[in-house]
């Protein structure tokens, strides 16, 4: 079972961080060469939070002939903040951010209006529960796509993205995933060396995503009168599994992706997990810690430890043990120890910028890139781990390929009743 394609036949980062990366890009003037006007790429943004605004800034920074022309978000204030911030940043070249009021869209259908605008490429950066819907619509509209990770919050959603990615390939549309570590020069070198045998056969993996609390849920009594169920959940999206996928899927999936990368994108055979909620989450239903134990068909096991509790030890690292050496990856370190020692050195274009450079280069060259298969596979492995933690059961890859779990509400309306699903209880929650 080497890939989702063979199984299915394919039928905080934020604006401030992005700005600092943009400044770093100035050390690489060769990538900022002037483009002819005919090479201009017009982009639209769907999802104007910190990640979406940061992605738009990355696009504008890395390519001087990219132009932002349309934006959309459920909330009008998010649109206003994104447009005003980017307009101010590019005040010296005002044509770069050309988003008049008539191309600033709000509401649940804002994505449709962005896609109907005269754009070549769309950046999808809403809460990931919306990704399958928005991704499929973008492919249908014939737009090139940058889509933030993860690709869905349930298995049904992942399969919808797989099918849409297949159609994108048929249409020769570029699809770039927001799994940013795959675009980091040092990590590309490190994993390339692993695949070339620098540490021998991979024998074990230990990956961590241990950090503080992320977007904590406010007390229920702070909910103002007149705020609907949907608005309340959207404003606190990280705390609801249908929107975020849980912290393991929304954030730690970066490390799950690196696990699969180390295993040459062979999916795990099965997994078990533990997890729960240590601190209160008033009105939310996500865990704040999950540890997943993956097993591959060749017997290799990998442990993925995730925690989002403040005041604890933090670590975001990858430790890959081979027959003859060890590969270690941290934020500022990539190295191999053993008979073939190596350590990444030198400056490179930041990974947040590189992912956009690769996308726009592919659009201009006509050689469409398509990350669809592996980005969906890594997302599905993350959901697999969450399901194992939520149920307390062993979950197999075969089950994930057929799982009917569909947690995204149907027929969303602003004033609908939207009760919050109970927090999972291992041993009681059913595996679907």
pLDDT over 80 at 86, yes or no: yes
Quick one: tokens of 229?
A: 């169920």
The pLDDT assigned to 239 comes to 98
Examine the domain organization and report whether 201 and 334 are in the same domain: yes
Res. 83 pLDDT band, cuts 50 70 90:
very high
CATH for 141: 3.40.50.720
Question: Can you tell me the mean pLDDT for 407-424?
Answer: 97
pLDDT over 80 at 18, yes or no: no
Closest by Cα among 78, 15, 55, 222 to 146: 55
**In sequence order, what are the residues at sequence separation of 6 or more whose Cβ sits closer than 8 angstroms to the Cβ of residue 294?**
205, 259, 268, 270, 271, 301, 302, 303, 304, 381, 385
Examine the domain organization and report whether 156 and 37 are in the same domain: yes
Res. 27 pLDDT band, cuts 50 70 90:
very low
Examine the domain organization and report whether 140 and 13 are in the same domain: yes
Res. 431 pLDDT band, cuts 50 70 90:
very high
**pLDDT tens-digit map of 390-413:** 999 999 999 999 999 999 999 999
* Domain membership flag for residue 409: no
Dihedral, 360, 60, 185, 122 alpha carbons, nearest 10: -50
Quick one: tokens of 324?
A: 């003859």
* Domain membership flag for residue 418: no
* Domain membership flag for residue 251: yes
144 contacts 122 by C-beta, under 8 angstroms: yes
Examine the domain organization and report whether 209 and 260 are in the same domain: yes
Q: How far apart are CA 66 and CA 122, in angstroms?
A: 12
Examine the domain organization and report whether 241 and 122 are in the same domain: no
Examine the domain organization and report whether 243 and 392 are in the same domain: yes
Examine the domain organization and report whether 66 and 156 are in the same domain: yes
Residue 349 C-beta-side C-alpha neighbours within 13 Å: 21
* Domain membership flag for residue 342: yes
CATH for 302: 3.30.360.10
Res. 206 pLDDT band, cuts 50 70 90:
very high
Residue 424: CB atoms within 10 Å: 23
* Domain membership flag for residue 139: yes
* Domain membership flag for residue 416: no
**pLDDT tens-digit map of 289-343:** 999 999 999 999 999 999 999 999 999 999 999 999 999 999 999 999 999 999 9
Examine the domain organization and report whether 398 and 260 are in the same domain: yes
Examine the domain organization and report whether 318 and 175 are in the same domain: no
* Domain membership flag for residue 265: yes
Res. 38 pLDDT band, cuts 50 70 90:
low
The pLDDT assigned to 32 comes to 35
The pLDDT assigned to 37 comes to 54
The pLDDT assigned to 23 comes to 38
Examine the domain organization and report whether 271 and 284 are in the same domain: yes
* Domain membership flag for residue 102: yes
pLDDT over 50 at 357, yes or no: yes
The pLDDT assigned to 6 comes to 43
Examine the domain organization and report whether 265 and 194 are in the same domain: yes
Examine the domain organization and report whether 194 and 101 are in the same domain: no
Q: How far apart are CA 338 and CA 335, in angstroms?
A: 10
Number of structural domains found in the chain = 2
Closest by Cα among 184, 168, 124 to 149: 124
The residue range of the domain holding 292 is 184-346+379-402
**Residue 232: φ, ψ to 5°:** -60, -45
pLDDT over 90 at 15, yes or no: no
pLDDT over 70 at 84, yes or no: yes
**pLDDT tens-digit map of 221-258:** 999 999 999 999 999 999 999 999 999 999 999 999 99
Percent of the chain with pLDDT over 70: 91
Judged on CB neighbours under 10 Å (0-12, 13-18, 19+), 75 is: middle
Residue 55: CB atoms within 10 Å: 26
Question: Can you tell me the mean pLDDT for 38-63?
Answer: 96
């Amino acid at each position: 079972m080497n890939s989702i394609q063979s199984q299915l036949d394919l039928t905080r980062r934020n604006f401030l961080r992005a700005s600092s990366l943009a400044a770093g890009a100035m050390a690489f003037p060769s990538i900022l060469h002037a483009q002819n006007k005919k090479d201009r790429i017009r982009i639209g943004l769907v999802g104007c939070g910190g990640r979406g605004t940061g992605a738009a800034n990355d696009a504008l920074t890395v390519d001087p002939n990219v132009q932002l022309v349309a934006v959309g978000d459920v909330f009008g204030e998010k649109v206003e903040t994104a447009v005003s911030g980017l307009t101010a940043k590019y005040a010296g070249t005002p044509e770069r951010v050309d988003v008049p009021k008539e191309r600033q869209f709000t509401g649940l259908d804002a994505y449709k209006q962005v896609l109907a605008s005269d754009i070549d490429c769309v950046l999808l950066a809403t809460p990931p529960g919306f990704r399958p819907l928005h991704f499929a619509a973008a492919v249908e509209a014939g737009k090139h796509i940058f889509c933030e990770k993860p690709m869905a919050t349930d298995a049904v959603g992942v399969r919808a993205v797989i099918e849409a990615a297949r159609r994108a390939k048929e249409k020769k549309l570029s699809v770039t995933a927001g799994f940013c570590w795959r675009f980091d020069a040092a990590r590309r070198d490190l994993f390339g060396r692993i695949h070339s045998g620098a540490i021998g056969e991979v024998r074990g993996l230990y990956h961590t995503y241990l950090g503080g609390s992320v977007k904590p849920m406010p007390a229920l009594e702070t909910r103002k009168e007149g705020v609907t169920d949907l608005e309340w959940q959207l404003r606190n999206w990280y705390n609801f599994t249908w929107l975020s996928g849980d912290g393991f899927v929304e954030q730690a999936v970066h490390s799950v992706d690196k696990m699969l990368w180390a295993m040459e994108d062979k999916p795990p055979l099965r997994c078990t997990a533990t997890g729960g909620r240590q601190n209160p989450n008033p009105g939310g239903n996500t865990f704040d810690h999950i540890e997943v134990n993956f097993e591959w068909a060749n017997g290799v096991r990998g442990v993925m430890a995730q925690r989002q509790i403040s005041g604890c030890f933090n670590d975001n690292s990858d430790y890959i043990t081979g027959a003859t050496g060890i590969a270690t990856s941290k934020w500022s370190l990539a190295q191999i120890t053993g008979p073939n020692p190596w350590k990444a050195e030198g400056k490179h274009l930041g990974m947040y910028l590189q992912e956009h450079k690769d996308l726009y280069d592919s659009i201009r060259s006509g050689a469409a890139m398509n990350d669809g298969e592996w980005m969906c596979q890594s997302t599905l492995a993350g959901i697999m781990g969450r399901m194992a933690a939520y149920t307390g059961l062993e979950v197999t890859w075969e089950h994930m390929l057929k799982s009917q779990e569909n947690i995204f509400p149907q027929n969303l309306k602003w004033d609908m009743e939207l009760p919050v699903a109970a927090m999972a209880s291992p041993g009681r929650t059913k595996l679907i």
